[in-house]
Amino acid sequence: MLFGLLLTLVVACAGSEAGTPTPPSPDGGGKPPAPSAAEMRRWIEDIVAEGIRRPGYPADARVEQRIRDWLTGFGVEDVRLEPVTVTRWMTVEGASSVEVCRPACDGSLKLTVFPTLAVAAPRTIDAPLVRYDGSTAGLAGKIVVLDYPMARFVPGALADQSLWVHDPDADLSSTSHPNSRPQTSKAASTVVAILRARPAAIVCALDDFFDTPYVYGVPSLLLNDSIPVVYASPSARTALLQALAGSAPSARLTVVAKSEEVVAHNVVGRLRSDKTTDIVLFGSHHDGPFFGATEDAAGVSLVLAQARYWSQVPASQRPFEFRFVLTAGHLLRSRGAEAWVTAHPDLAAKTVLNVHLETPAQEYDVNSQNAPVNRNRIEPHWFYVSNAPVLVNGLKGAVQRVDYRRTMAIDPKAFPDGPPSDAKAFFSAGIPILSHISNPAYYLTIEDKLDKVSDKANEELSRVVIDVVWGLAGQTPASLRAAVR
C-alpha cells in the first residue's frame, strides 16, 4: 500500500515537472487547465533568445521552425510552412552614424543614428549641417536636424468609443506615455515638407522619448530612398543642438542598410473536431522590429497556449475545428495575413471567428532622464470585436469573470478602413474578429525586452479567450455573421 502511494506521488510529480496538464477523459466532459504563465514565458524567452527577427531575418526563420516544432509536439496536425515573399530590410544597430565635422571629421563627435525603412542601400553623405527653423528655404543639399517630439498616447481616450469597458480601478485615464510609432508625431508631416526641399538627409532628433535611436518605422509613406531619413536619440539631439550653437558645421552621415526580396513563411496547423468542420482561427505574427518580447513573442505564446489547451480536449468534445496561423510580414502591412486570406478562401468561408492575439504588455513611461520607468501594472488594452451580441456579451462576461482589468471593447467598424491590426485582413474577408492589442511606450523599439512581458496579462488573456470560445459552441459562420450589427 505504501509502495503504491509512493508510486502515485512519483508519477504525479513527474507530470507536474513536465508541465503537462491532465487531459479530460473522452467521456467525462472535463476541461484541461489553461497553460501557465511560466510555460508561456519559456516560449517567449526562447523566441527572444533567437535575436532580432525582422521579416526575413535569420532569427525569424529560426522562430518559424521553433513554432512548427512546438505545434507538432502538441499534437497539432498538418503543421506546415506556407511561403510568403517579404522585403528583408537589414541594418546593423550602432553602425549608422552622424558625425559633426568642425573643421574636419575626426571622430570627436560621432553619434549613433538609426535609418528608416526607406533607406535601402548603404551610403555616406558629407554636407552642411543645419537645424530646421520652420522654413524650408535654403535646405537643399544639407543635412537637416529636425526636432522630433513623439506624440503622447492616452489609451483612456478610447473608452468613449468603446462598446464597454472593464476598469474596476478607474485608472485607465491615468495612463499617458509617448507613442513610439513615429508616424503619429506631428513632426511626420514636417518631414514630408522638408523632403520637398531636396535636402541631402534628415536627422529626426527624438524628444519626449527613451534615450535610444532604435525606433522602427517610417514617418510618412511619401519617404523615398533617394534622401536618407534617420532617427537620433534625445541625448544625441542635445549634442547636435550644442554643436549647431557655434559656427555652422558640416556633417558626415553614414547609413548601413540594404534591402532584398526573400521568402518567409506563415506557420499553420490544424486540430480537427468530431462535431463540426466550422473553424475558429487563432492568429498572431512571428516577426518583430527588434527582440519583440511583447511585439510579438507574447502574441505567439498566446496562440501556442491555445494550441496546447485545445489539443488536450478530445476531438469528440472540441466545439470547433481549430486552425493556427502564425504569420510572416506583419511589419510589411500584414503581408502574411493577407497571403493566408488570399490563399484560403474556402477556409475563410468556414471560419466562425478569427481570434488574433497581440501585445499583452507591462506599462512603462519615460522619466525626465529619458529612461523607461515601470508603472507596475498591465498596459491598457482593447479588443477589436465584431459587434454580434453573443460575441460581445460573451467577451464581456469572460473578462469580468477572469477580472482582466484595463480592458476596452471596440467595434472594428469604428474605423472606415478596418481595424488597424493584423486582423484587418480577416475582417475584410468578412470573418468576425476578436483581436487583442495594445500600444505600450516601447512598442516598435529595442526596449521591448523580457522585462516588458506581463505574466499576469498573458495568463488572464489566455483564460478569457478559452472562456469565449467555449461560450460560442454551436455557432456557425452563417449564424455569427448574421448577428453582427
Strands, sheet with 257-271, edge to edge from the N-terminal-most edge strand:
77-91, 257-271, 321-327, 279-285, 351-357, 433-438, 381-385, 407-410, 164-166
Query: Which residue type is seen at 465?
Result: V
Confidence (pLDDT) at 270: 98
- 98, 131 Cβ separation under 8 angstroms: no
For 248-259, the DSSP string reads --EEEEEE-EEE
Q: Which three cell numbers stand for residue 417?
A: 478602413
- Residues 402 and 220: their CA atoms lie apart, in Å, by 40
Confidence (pLDDT) at 300: 98
Confidence (pLDDT) at 224: 58
- In eight-state DSSP terms, residue 104 is S
The series of mean pLDDT values per 10 residues for the chain, 485 residues long, is 32 33 42 96 98 98 98 98 97 97 92 93 96 96 97 95 97 96 92 94 96 84 73 97 89 96 98 98 98 97 98 98 98 96 98 97 96 97 98 98 98 94 96 98 97 98 98 98 98
**How many other CB atoms are found less than 10 A from the CB of residue 431?**
24
- Residues 475 and 231: their CA atoms lie apart, in Å, by 49
> What pTM does this model have?
0.92
Confidence (pLDDT) at 1: 31
**H-helix or E-strand containing 281?**
strand 279-285
**How many other CB atoms are found less than 10 A from the CB of residue 458?**
28
